[in-house]
Amino acid sequence: MTTEFDEIDIARLGAQGDGIAETAAGPRYVPFALPGERVRVGGEGLPELLSSPSTDRQQPLCRHFTTCGGCVAQHMSEPLYAGWKRGIVVEALRQRSLDTEVGPLLRVAAGTRRRATFAARQESGGIVLGYHRRRSHELFAVEECPVLQPGIVARLAGLRAIAARLGGRESRLTVLLTPVGLDVIAEVGGARLGARVAAELARLAAEEGIVRICVDGEIIVELAKPALAMGDASVEPPPGAFVQAVAEAEAAMVDCVLAAAGKAKRVADLFCGVGTFTLPLARRARVLAVDGEEKAIAALGAAARHAQGLKPIETKVRDLFRIPLSPKELEGFDAVVLDPARAGAEAQARQLARSGVPVAICVSCNPGTLARDARILVDGGYTLESIVPIDQFLYSHHVEVVCVLRRPGRARPSR
């Protein structure tokens, strides 16, 4: 069968990082093509560049780029990249008829991501540990990753050895680099580990600087407590608990939240997790911290009890997707922080829109659901004050956003 090829001109970038050409049949999406380039496309292969490369094209940092299903934008120049990422947020807001100035993209450096998930599979040549290929379920062995902290990349061989000891056809390893070492959460699918395997895992952990190994929810090895600093407190995340992927991005998000809260005396931190915002906020305000994950709330409570100089923190386990805090329950709060998962906080936003809370601070890794929730709040009487995109997910099409909304007549508090 003969493959037909088309020659097309790339006009702009799409939200997924593809180049877009306007054709008679409608928009055509071309991976790794840049505006101003002419390419030949067809079949399943990569586009062939026919024109001179765009002046915005640069050499990718990683040998796996275009093979790996993670990064989509290593070939973009800094100005093009920053504009594209900011534009994702602008477009999400535009689709909800929210016309507000979006701030410049706050960048993070390469080599700063502290959390990653690898897949491991037993194949004929041995264990393959890595990522999925672009648009495929096939794995390839990762040899480098410029996004990750070097402390993770240096332990790829050790992680591969752990996967080999775990047995089974396929496993999933989520790793978090903490100040005391690597925390490894393995999902194997119920395979039982004997004493010999546990002893081998303990030996590998000691050799590789791994402080904890948890398999299918059970802690197998714990050589030290994998704690993280949050505000003035030290938090030990329970196995598999959500933490922000990049510490520098987390610090920028915390700064935005603290600035927006200003001199608020009472703050509700909803979808609080292990306390990313709760603990810094508690240096100056009483905080109600609510989350549906009981173990995360327990870790937050333990950290608060051992910290010095914090104002009172009340913790509550509650599924805010099903049972959001009502306007009555929100009475007396000066500010509310919403930091939900990618699905957003629609139910809670509807209740908040009916409340009298002066300030709403929305944090999200999904500009689409953030814009939906912001629209609900604006329709409820809030005004968009600021929108800050943060490049927590380097070279991917994901972007973190902090959005501040305020009820008219409420002066912006000083810090």
Residues annotated as catalytic (active site), given as ranges: 365
Q: Counting beta carbons within 10 angstroms of the beta carbon of residue 186, is it exposed (0 to 12), middle (13 to 18) or buried (19 or more)?
A: buried
Distance CA 142, CA 282 (A): 41
Q: For the CA atoms of 81, 84, 88, 94, what is the dihedral angle to 10 degrees? A: 150
Q: Which residues of 248-268 are buried (b: 16+ CB within 10 A; e: fewer)?
A: bbbebbbebbbbbbbebebbb
List CB contacts of 306: < 8 A, sequence separation 6 or more. 233, 234
Sign for the pseudo-dihedral over CA of 348, 349, 354, 356: positive
- Among residues 252, 332, 345, the alpha carbon closest in space to that of 292 is found at 345
Whether residue 82 contacts residue 134, with contact meaning beta carbons closer than 8 Å, is answered with no
Other beta carbons less than 10 A from residue 209's beta carbon = 15
Which pTM value belongs to this model?
Answer: 0.93
pLDDT by position in tens, the chain (length 415):
445 678 999 999 999 999 999 998 899 999 999 999 999 987 667 889 888 999 999 999 999 999 999 999 999 999 999 999 999 999 999 999 998 899 999 999 999 999 999 999 988 888 999 999 988 888 999 999 999 999 999 999 999 999 999 877 789 999 999 999 999 999 987 667 889 999 999 999 999 999 999 999 899 999 999 999 999 999 999 998 999 999 999 999 999 999 999 999 999 999 999 999 999 999 999 999 999 999 999 999 999 999 999 999 999 999 999 999 999 999 999 999 999 999 999 999 999 999 999 999 999 999 999 999 999 999 999 999 999 999 999 999 999 999 999 999 755 544 4
